[in-house]
Amino acid sequence: MATKDFRTPLSKARGNGASGHGTEHVIHQRALAVGLLLGFIYAATSILFFTNLSHQAMVEWFSNPFNASVMALLIIAAAGHFNLGVQVVIEDYIHKPSSKALLMLGINFLAALIAAIGILSIIKIYLGA
Amino acid sequence: MADSIQSKPLSPHLQIWRWHVTMTTSILHRATGVANLAAIVVLLAWLAALAAGPEQYAAFQALIGSAFGRLVLFGCLVSVSYHIANGIRHLLFNLGIGLDKKTATISGWVVIVLGFTGAIKMMWLGYRALGH
């Protein structure tokens, strides 16, 4: 034996699921869900009750930094929550390693694209569309 | 021997199973979660149209206001509304609340009803905001 390993097999395995990060996945999914819920309730009620959905009214709504920030965070949380959720769906139904890896990569890119399009649009509206 | 085998509960079988609402809510949660991509696309189109200017926004409103657009929007709202309602149910499950069979069955029906009523309510609020 080249190097001596003092850790027992149990101590190395403890806290690790099948892929070593299942707990974080579950907790992140829930944390994003709570954020999404709060953001959705705020954005939906404030837009549906206090605007007439016209271009001018929406530009005014987005000119408020808090509103623009909530909408940006809502898009980020939606992309993240969607990414984590679809990952589980792919893991459940796709078993061929190459297809699985490609789909996982694709979903990550899709989530990043959703966040980028959303944030860029919100910044543009905020600065005056 | 044969009796003892037969009296044991069997695992779910292709031909021997009973439909139950908690099964449906679980399947619908996954299905609506994936379908919510459509809702995200509509939301992004709305944001992009807003950012592009009044003309593009008018074109977006015309598209979403068409019969097909309204149908798609209503479908998106049902999907999102159900996913939110059942999502809250799941968060309560995670806190250990409502896990017994009777409560889970009742709350299952509740979230299905809330999914539809929530979507109808949002459509109605949308029409009201537009002044219809």
Residue of B nearest to A87 (CA): B34
Kindly determine whether residue B129 and residue A53, on different chains, have CB atoms separated by under 8 Å.
Answer: yes
- pLDDT at position A95, please? 92
Domains, chain A = 24-126 (1.20.1300.10)
How would you write the pLDDT of chain B (132 residues) with one tens digit per residue?
455 556 666 666 777 778 899 999 999 999 999 999 999 999 999 999 999 999 999 999 999 999 999 999 999 999 999 999 999 999 999 999 999 999 999 999 999 999 999 999 999 999 999 997
Q: How far is B48 from chain A (nearest CA, A)?
A: 5
What are A59-70's pLDDT values in tens digits?
Answer: 999 999 999 999
Positions in chain A whose pLDDT score sits under 70? 1-3, 15-20, 129
Nearest residue to A32 via CA among A72, A73, A90, A92: A73
Kindly determine whether residue B129 and residue A33, on different chains, have CB atoms separated by under 8 Å.
Answer: no
A86, A89, A117: residue with CB nearest B44: A117
Domain-by-domain residue ranges, chain B?
Answer: 20-130
Residues A53/B126, Cβ–Cβ less than 8 Å: yes
Nearest residue to B32 via CA among B95, B129, B124, B118: B118
Q: Which of residues 10-49 of A touch B (CB under 8 A)?
A: 30, 33-34, 37, 40, 44, 47-49
Kindly determine whether residue A121 and residue B87, on different chains, have CB atoms separated by under 8 Å.
Answer: no
- HSE of A119, CA atoms in CB hemisphere, 13 A: 11
Query: Is B57 an interface residue toward A (CB < 8 Å)?
Result: yes
Which of A27, A38, A103, A121 to substitute to test the interface with B, most B CBs within 10 Å? A121
A48, A58, A118: residue with CB nearest B126: A48
∠ Cα A81 A82 A84 (to 5°): 65
**Helices A55-63 and B21-52: angle between axes, nearest 10 degrees:** 100
- pLDDT at position B18, please? 84
- The domain made up of B20-130 has a fold known as 3 helical TM bundles of succinate and fumarate reductases (1.20.1300)
Query: Is B54 an interface residue toward A (CB < 8 Å)?
Result: yes
